[in-house]
Amino acid sequence: MKVTVFILLTLLFSMDAHGQNHSIVIAVSGLHNGNGKVIAALYNSEIGFPKASNKAYKRLSFDIVEDKCIVEFENIPEGVYAISCFHDENNNDKMDTNFIGIPSEGTAASNNAEGVLGPPKFKDAQFTVTGDVEQKITIEY
């Protein structure tokens, strides 16, 4: 019985060391003002990126302080990710667009990825998490 408990504990500690979770911290600048909040979506695949935040791995909102914002995702397992975010100036929890679908609120993606005649691609915004990650991105209007 003692040997079984020892083996189980050893396996649990071994799995914890290999399955370590990390944090992703993104400093967001370029905000026009301190109104509203920044909504950020963390994707672990290209499915839904960057528009369908309901398909994101995690979606969170963050306060703006002095026209800047710190986006932080915690307990993230190792893997490949991309972030899209927008300045929700009117606090309606959605990205507003004009009549042809172009965002009327500021947007950004990890790696400051930009799209050509459309939103950025996942492959341009992706980064690998093997430890804690820090990035700086700028909101574009």
Distance CA 109, CA 92 (A): 20
Task: Provide the pLDDT confidence category of residue 20 given band limits of 50, 70 and 90.
Answer: confident
pLDDT for res 16:
44
What does the domain layout of the chain look like in residue ranges? 20-138
pLDDT for res 108:
98
For domain 20-138, the CATH superfamily is Immunoglobulins (2.60.40.10)
Residue 119 in this model has a pLDDT that exceeds 80: yes
Distance CA 37, CA 41 (A): 13
| Of residues 39, 90, 30, 93, the one with CA closest to residue 66 | 30
Q: 79-107 pLDDT, tens per residue?
A: 999 999 999 999 999 999 999 999 999 99
Whole-prediction pTM: 0.85
